[in-house]
A and B are shown apart, each in its own frame.
Chain A
Amino acid sequence: MARSRAQLSDIGESRVAWAGHLRHLAMGILKPSAAVGLALLIGAGVIWAMGEDPIFAYQTLFNGAFKGAGNFVATLQYTTPLLFTGLAVSFAFRAGVANIGVEGQMLFGALAAGIVGYTISAPHFLHVALAMIAAAVAGAVWAFIPAILRARLGVNELVVCLMLNPIALLLTGYFSSYPLKAPGPTNKTYDILASAQLQQFTNSAQLNTGFILALVLLAVFWVIENRTGKGYEWKLVGQNPLFARYGGIGVQKSIIGAFLVSGMVAGLAGAEQVLGVYRAFYNGFSPGYGFDGIAVAMLAKNSPIGVAFAALLLGALNSGGIVMQMMTSVTRDLVKMLEAVIILLLAADFAITSFKARRKVAKAGTAGKSIGGGQA
Chain B
Amino acid sequence: MNTRRLALVVLLVLVAMLAITGVGAAKAIRVAMVTSESGLGDRSFNDMMHQGFQRAEKDFGIKFNVIQPKSISEFKSTLARASEQGFDLIIGSSFDMIDPMKEVARMYPKQKFALIDVGPDPIASNVVSTVTKDWEGSFLVGAIAARTTKTGTIGFVGGKDIPIIHRFFIGYYYGAKMINPDVKVLESYSGTFTDPATGKEYTLALINRGSDINFAVAGATSAGVIDAAKQTKTFAIGVDSNQNYLAPGFVLTSMMKRIDNQAYDIIKLVVDGKFKGGTVLTYGLKEKGVDYAMDKYNKGLISDSTLKLVEELREKVIAGKIVVPNYFELKPGQKTMGQPPIDSPLN
Interface residues of A (CB under 8 A from B): 64, 68, 70-71, 74, 77, 177, 184-187, 203-206, 273, 277-278, 282, 285-287, 322-323, 325-327, 329, 331-332
**Residues from chain A with Cβ under 8 Å of B71 in the complex:** 285-287
Known: A185-B164, A187-B162. A326 touches B32 (CB 8 A): yes
Partner of A287, one of B70, B81, B84, B160: B70
Known: A185-B163, A187-B162, A326-B65. A70 touches B73 (CB 8 A): no
Q: Is the CB of A331 within 8 A of B80?
A: no
Tell me, yes or no, whether B11 is within 8 Å of chain A by CB: no
Q: Is the CB of B67 within 8 A of A325?
A: yes
User: What would be 14 A-B contacts, judged by CB atoms less than 8 Å apart?
Assistant: A64-B81, A74-B77, A185-B95, A186-B95, A186-B96, A205-B76, A206-B76, A278-B72, A285-B71, A285-B73, A325-B67, A326-B65, A326-B67, A327-B65
**Residues from chain A with Cβ under 8 Å of B81 in the complex:** 64, 70-71, 74, 204, 322-323, 326
A70 to B104 Cα, complex, angstroms: 13
Known: A187-B160, A203-B107. A325 touches B77 (CB 8 A): no
**Residues from chain A with Cβ under 8 Å of B82 in the complex:** 326
Query: How many Å from the CB of A206 to the closest CB on chain B?
Result: 6
Q: Is the CB of B65 within 8 A of A332?
A: no
**Residues from chain A with Cβ under 8 Å of B95 in the complex:** 185-186
Partner of B68, one of A70, A323, A332: A332
Q: Produce 1/0 per residue, B78-96, CB < 8 A to A.
A: 1011101101000000011
Nearest 9 A/B pairs, CB to CB: A204-B80, A287-B70, A205-B77, A287-B71, A74-B77, A185-B95, A277-B73, A326-B85, A325-B67
Tell me, yes or no, whether B103 is within 8 Å of chain A by CB: yes
Tell me, yes or no, whether B74 is within 8 Å of chain A by CB: yes
A84 to B251 Cα, complex, angstroms: 49
A282 to B95 Cα, complex, angstroms: 13
Nearest A residue to B104 via CB reads A204
A326 to B104 Cα, complex, angstroms: 17
Nearest A residue to B119 via CB reads A185
Tell me, yes or no, whether B15 is within 8 Å of chain A by CB: no
Known: A70-B80, A285-B73, A327-B85. A322 touches B96 (CB 8 A): no
A240 to B72 Cα, complex, angstroms: 43
Tell me, yes or no, whether B18 is within 8 Å of chain A by CB: no
**Residues from chain A with Cβ under 8 Å of B70 in the complex:** 287, 332
A253 to B335 Cα, complex, angstroms: 56
Tell me, yes or no, whether B9 is within 8 Å of chain A by CB: no
Nearest B residue to A60 via CB reads B85
A298 to B73 Cα, complex, angstroms: 26
Q: Is the CB of A285 within 8 A of B72?
A: yes
Tell me, yes or no, whether B322 is within 8 Å of chain A by CB: no
Query: How many Å from the CB of B98 to the closest CB on chain A?
Result: 9
A306 to B164 Cα, complex, angstroms: 46
Nearest B residue to A277 via CB reads B73
Interface residues of B (CB under 8 A from A): 32, 65-74, 76-78, 80-82, 84-85, 87, 95-96, 103-104, 107, 160, 162-164, 191
A157 to B218 Cα, complex, angstroms: 36
**Residues from chain A with Cβ under 8 Å of B72 in the complex:** 278, 282, 285
Known: A71-B81, A187-B162, A203-B107. A325 touches B68 (CB 8 A): yes
**Residues from chain B with Cβ under 8 Å of A287 in the complex:** 70-71
A64 to B160 Cα, complex, angstroms: 38
Query: How many Å from the CB of B173 to the closest CB on chain A?
Result: 20
Nearest B residue to A331 via CB reads B68
**Residues from chain A with Cβ under 8 Å of B80 in the complex:** 70, 74, 204-205
**Residues from chain B with Cβ under 8 Å of A70 in the complex:** 80-81, 84
Query: How many Å from the CB of A264 to the closest CB on chain B?
Result: 22
Known: A185-B163, A186-B96. A322 touches B78 (CB 8 A): yes
A325 to B71 Cα, complex, angstroms: 16
Query: How many Å from the CB of A71 to the closest CB on chain B?
Result: 7
Q: Is the CB of B73 within 8 A of A325?
A: no
Q: Is the CB of A322 within 8 A of B67?
A: yes
A325 to B87 Cα, complex, angstroms: 13
**Residues from chain B with Cβ under 8 Å of A326 in the complex:** 32, 65, 67, 81-82, 85, 87
Other A-B contacts than A322-B69, A326-B87, 11 sampled, CB-CB below 8 A, are A64-B81, A70-B81, A186-B96, A204-B80, A204-B107, A206-B73, A278-B72, A278-B73, A287-B71, A322-B78, A331-B66
**Residues from chain B with Cβ under 8 Å of A187 in the complex:** 160, 162
Known: A71-B81, A186-B96, A326-B32. A204 touches B76 (CB 8 A): yes
Query: How many Å from the CB of A328 to the closest CB on chain B?
Result: 8
A187 to B340 Cα, complex, angstroms: 26
**Residues from chain B with Cβ under 8 Å of A323 in the complex:** 81, 85
Query: How many Å from the CB of B197 to the closest CB on chain A?
Result: 15
Q: Is the CB of B77 within 8 A of A204?
A: yes
**Residues from chain B with Cβ under 8 Å of A68 in the complex:** 84
A70 to B76 Cα, complex, angstroms: 12
Q: Is the CB of B77 within 8 A of A206?
A: yes
Query: How many Å from the CB of A188 to the closest CB on chain B?
Result: 9
Q: Is the CB of A203 within 8 A of B103?
A: yes
